[in-house]
Amino acid sequence: MRFVATIAGAALLIAAGIGASPLAAAEIAQDQRRSGYDFMTPDTQAIQNDDTANPGMLWVLDGEALWNNKTGAAGKACGDCHEDARAGMKGVAARYPAFDKALGRPVNLEQRINLCRVKHQQTTALAYESRDLLALSAFVAQQSRGDAIVAGADPQLEPFVARGRELFMQRQGQVNLGCANCHDDNWDKRLAGSAITQAHPTGYPLYRLEWQSLGSLQRRMRACMTGVRAQAYDYGAPELVELELYLMFRARGMPMDSPAVRP
């Protein structure tokens, strides 16, 4: 009997070690939520704290120039409709992805910028992760610094938040891990020396020292999917936007810190 108990104990330990215990899948309590910022070393935090040291600000400055740049057949700049971004764009990034009536589904900030470009500026959509699109989204997101995230508050978004949550819980890939297995169950541990964070996307688009560049939340999510050896969804795929929406919904109430710096 004791032998059986030992095996059972060992099996439990193994299960806990790889985060596969079915009992552990619980969402993080509201008062225990932390931004990725809190997981960083003081050195990396110092880069983000100082706007003249934060490389993300290079994209913000580019974005400000693009904001005022007349383009397309309509000959309009973003600023011609939205006026001063500092007032007009405040809090906007904090409520994206938002429901688009014409499409009948949520769109993220990058998609909104591209919809505006095609519809109102009558020009071409910018490629995902292109410098110009990152610059514009960084400039818009920076206006929401310190604002509480309110994404997912729109009742029309409910089914999409639910689908995003399903994908978050869904095990996938050859490694057979869901997002929740790391980011809900094991966020207080480390993976290959790096902190496992809680997946609260407060600072996107953000500068990752590993990327040596600014990058979007979708880039980050796709990298995680490749990490569990799943086939990552294409940029802009509805599934990826739903997941993005769910992540922002999880972080509701937390302050934005775009453009953040992460290791």
* Residues near another protein (CB under 8 A): 47, 50-53, 55, 57-58, 61-62, 64-65, 209, 212-213
Count CA atoms closer than 13 A to 175's CA, side-chain side: 15
Question: Which C-beta is closer to another protein: that of 57 or that of 107?
Answer: 57
Element (H or E) spanning 105, and its range?
A: strand 105-107
Q: Output the smallest distance, CB 47 to another protein, in A.
A: 8
The closest of 144, 149, 140, 145 to 59, measured between CA atoms, is 140
Nearer to another protein, 52 or 231 (CB): 52
Question: Least Å distance between CB 207 and another protein?
Answer: 8
**For this structure, is 224 an active site residue?**
yes
> 250: buried, middle or exposed (CB in 10 Å: 19+, 13-18, 0-12)?
buried
Report, in Å, the least distance between residue 141 CB and another protein: 17
The answer to whether the beta carbons of residues 178 and 120 sit under 8 Å apart is no
What is each CA distance from 213 to 58, 130, 189, 210, 261, in whole angstroms? 10, 11, 26, 8, 10
Residue 199 φ/ψ, nearest 5 degrees:
60, 50
Minimum Å distance from CB 78 to another protein? Answer: 16
Is residue 195 within 8 Å of 39, Cβ to Cβ? yes
Q: Which of 78, 116, 182, 224 is labelled catalytic? A: 224
Residue 87 CB burial class (10 angstroms; 0-12, 13-18, ≥19): exposed
Residue 19 or residue 215: which is nearer to another protein going by CB? 215
Question: For another protein, which is the closer residue by CB, 51 or 188?
Answer: 51
Cα–Cα dist 74/71, whole Å:
7
Q: Which is nearer to another protein, 68 or 122 (CB)?
A: 68
Please report how close the Cβ of residue 213 comes to another protein at its closest, in angstroms: 7
Would you say 77 or 169 has its CB closer to another protein? 77
At its nearest, how many Å lie between another protein and the CB of residue 70?
Answer: 16
* Percent helix, strand and coil across the chain, each to the nearest 5: 50, 10, 45
Q: How far apart are CA 169 and CA 242, in angstroms?
A: 13
Residue 206: name the closest of 1, 41, 57 by CA.
57
Please give the positions annotated as active site.
224
